[in-house]
Each structure stands twice: as C-alpha cells, then as structure tokens.
Amino acid sequence: MRSLSHRRLGAVRHAGRVSGDLAATLERVVAPTAGRYVAVAAAATRAGATASLTSGVRDAERGGAVDEHTVFEIGSVTKVFTALLLADQVVAGAVVLAEPLQALLPDVVIPVRGRPVTLLDLATHTSGFPRLPPGLVRQALRHRDDPYARFTEDDLHAALERVKPKREPGGKWSYSNFGAAVLGHALARRAGTTYDRLLAERVTGPLGLADTVLALRPDQEDRRAHGHTRRGRPTDDWSMPAMPGMGALHSTVTDLTTFLRAQLDPESTPLAEAIRMTREPRAGREPMQVALGWLVSPMPKGGPVVHWHNGGTGGARSWAGFSVADDTTCVVLTTGQRSPDQLGFDVLRSR
C-alpha cells in the first residue's frame, strides 16, 4: 500500500485486488483534485481487477481519516436503487411497468393529462411532473439547511393532487425528483411496508450491501463523512422522510462497487432479470437516453456507452457509472459542493 500526501487532507490509499493500471489511473485523474474536497473516496474495476483511492478527513473540525468503508450521502444515485426495486417488483409480479400510478395510490386523486402516469413514466422521467413537488419550494427556502425534512407524506399526497403535468406522459424526458420520490412511495404502499424495509428486503439485502441504508446504525455514524459547504464548513445531512426514493440513501465506495459489478454480471446475483431490465434504454434519444433510473450516454469526447447517475445534497456529491462494453465501473464520493462527474467519466475513459 502506497501513500501520497495531499495538503492537509490526509493520504491517498489503494486497496483491494489492485490493478496497477487502475491504481495509476485513479492517481492520475482523481489524486490531483483531492484538495478540492474535504473527503473523497473513489474506486474502479475492470475485468475483475479493482483499485480504490481515498483522501481527506470525515470532518474538517474533528478529523478522522477517510477509507473504503467511510459512509457518504449519495443523493440522487439513490434513484437507480429505486428503479431496481421497481424492476424487482415487476419480476415478482407485484406491479407492471405500464401500471398507472393511480392504482397504487387509490386514496389520492392524481390529475390526468392525456393518459394516466405509469410506473414506467416515473422511472424514466417522462411523467410530465415538475422537478420538485408543488408547495415544496417555498417551504425549502425557509429551511435551506435541510429543505425536505418538514415535507410530510400528507404534503406529498397534496402535491400529487395539485400537480399540473408539463406535458403528456411518455413523451420527452425531463428530470424529476418528484417523480422518483412518488415511485418509491408508491412501491412501498403497494407492498404494505416502508421504502427502507422493502429496499433492504428486495435489493440491498440480496446484493449484500450492508452499508447502503437510509438510517445510519451506530457503527456507521462512527464512519460517516460529514457534509461540508463549498468553504469547508460542516453541514448536516439532508433528511427526506416522505421522499426517500429520490435521494436519501447513504453508502460506501465498497458497497457501490459491488452494486456496479452486479450490473455487469447480473447472472451472479439473485436479481439478474431485474438488473437486465434496468439497463435497457427506454426514453430519450442519443446522445442522452434514459433507462430505468440510469442515464445512458457515450463518454464525453467519444468512447463506449456509459450507464451513470450523479447525486448531490447540501454537503456531498456522488457519481457512479459503468461501461458494459469495457467491463469497467467507477464510483466517486465526495464531501463539499464541487461535482465529481468529470472525474468519473475520465476514469472510465482511461485505458
């Protein structure tokens, strides 16, 4: 194991069944940017070989070195888990992709424009729903430190009844946190449980992702990377009690690497059919298409197609992606408010 100092942030480490080429790629692409973040953890795999790189501290005030088991908020990367949960429920026969949302929420009167919104529309951002629920923005502006914390299930239902879809469902895709939140909520309602319990039972449990959770256990609190502002000041995690399916998960680079490897080798998992279902592009046009949860596009500046998603909260940023053609995955998790997206694409593009 080698170490390379980066300002006051700590050390860069490589771990796992290390590929020299991948380790060199992470060091060349990610290491020079480590000073931009309070904490950064990155991992990549190619053809079974792995490498990871970590740098910084979990808390700018209290310290604590970052490693491969440091727990980060992953923001909207949560959406690919919600989409896989949908696919799993389709395979299990609990729902169908073309099923109207109204059927899962019979006590909520959902406006119709053209035709009813379906579960597929929600998972591919083609529902016509706005980016955020009606009524949330004003509330969020009053509580910028934790903008979703006071938005309740009743508020979510009221927003659904008030929503004015921007267009008929099934057409042009337009990114909607609201749609993903409603999808997670509706799946849990149909199953008669909560989103976190359903996800643990059907997705994270079967895939062995013990550190991918909504509510942190005590041992995870001890490993948590606290969010930080652009100026490096600590900030609280965001809570989303009524809308977890859009962005409330925490995870580690170790768990997310396992999750991405499952996308490349679904037959090695108990969710093979569901995983294959999520990878198929269903909306949009090249160069940007949408599968179930995943965004699908060629790598910038040319290269094979990548399935990817990014995420952001008040104090953390995330990126996860994979290339089936190259048998390659990459995860980058950070605290601070600078996007790591380009780092993820650059790692996947590197040879």
SS (H, E, C) 84-104: HHHHHHHHCCCCCCCCEHHHH
The average pLDDT across 292-306 equals: 87
The answer on 25 and 54 residing in a single domain is yes
Q: Let me know if residue 210 belongs to a domain.
A: no
C-alpha to C-alpha distance for 148 and 198, rounded to whole angstroms: 21
Q: Let me know if residue 242 belongs to a domain.
A: no
Distances (CA, A) of 317 to 7, 111, 228: 21, 34, 10
C-alpha to C-alpha distance for 118 and 183, rounded to whole angstroms: 9
For residues 73 and 216, the answer to whether their CB atoms sit within 8 Å is no
301 dihedral zone (left: phi>0; alpha: psi -120 to 50; beta): left
The answer on 164 and 70 residing in a single domain is no
Tens of pLDDT, residues 13-72: 444 445 679 999 999 999 999 999 999 999 999 998 999 999 999 999 899 999 999 999
Predicted confidence (pLDDT) at residue 170 exceeds the cutoff of 90: yes
For residues 279 and 294, the answer to whether their CB atoms sit within 8 Å is yes
Of 125, 136, 140, 241, the C-alpha closest to 176 is: 125
Tokens matching residue 157: 């239902």
The answer on 48 and 98 residing in a single domain is no
For residues 65 and 57, the answer to whether their CB atoms sit within 8 Å is yes
The answer on 125 and 170 residing in a single domain is yes
The answer on 134 and 40 residing in a single domain is no
Predicted confidence (pLDDT) at residue 9 exceeds the cutoff of 60: no
The answer on 89 and 53 residing in a single domain is no
Whose tokens are 């008929």? That residue is: 168
The answer on 98 and 52 residing in a single domain is no
Q: Let me know if residue 171 belongs to a domain.
A: yes
Q: Let me know if residue 173 belongs to a domain.
A: yes
- The CATH number that applies at residue 334 is 3.40.710.10
The answer on 96 and 181 residing in a single domain is yes
C-alpha to C-alpha distance for 230 and 234, rounded to whole angstroms: 10
Predicted confidence (pLDDT) at residue 309 exceeds the cutoff of 80: yes
**177: enclosing H helix or E strand:** helix 177-191
The answer on 41 and 30 residing in a single domain is yes
The answer on 159 and 86 residing in a single domain is yes
Domain count along the chain? 2
The answer on 200 and 219 residing in a single domain is no
Mean pLDDT of the chain: 92
C-alpha to C-alpha distance for 283 and 167, rounded to whole angstroms: 15
- pLDDT category of residue 319 using cuts at 50, 70 and 90: very high
Whose tokens are 């592009």? That residue is: 281
For residues 275 and 211, the answer to whether their CB atoms sit within 8 Å is no
Q: Let me know if residue 209 belongs to a domain.
A: no
Of 274, 311, 281, 276, the C-alpha closest to 296 is: 281
The answer on 267 and 120 residing in a single domain is no
Predicted confidence (pLDDT) at residue 342 exceeds the cutoff of 90: yes
pTM of the model: 0.94
Tens of pLDDT, residues 197-253: 999 999 999 999 999 999 999 999 999 999 998 888 889 899 999 999 999 999 999
Radius of gyration in angstroms for the set of CA atoms belonging to the chain, rounded to a whole number: 19
Name the phi and psi angles at 332, rounded to 5: -135, 120
Who contacts 138 (Cβ-Cβ below 8 Å, separation ≥6)? none
Q: Let me know if residue 219 belongs to a domain.
A: yes
Distances (CA, A) of 196 to 81, 82, 205: 11, 10, 11
C-alpha to C-alpha distance for 179 and 79, rounded to whole angstroms: 10
Pairing type for strands 250-251 and 283-285 reads: unpaired
Torsion sign, CA atoms 5, 71, 269, 343: negative
Q: Let me know if residue 147 belongs to a domain.
A: yes
Domain assignment of residue 261, given as a range? 5-76+215-237+248-349
Q: Let me know if residue 224 belongs to a domain.
A: yes
Tens of pLDDT, residues 197-208: 999 999 999 999
Predicted confidence (pLDDT) at residue 8 exceeds the cutoff of 70: no
C-alpha to C-alpha distance for 55 and 168, rounded to whole angstroms: 46
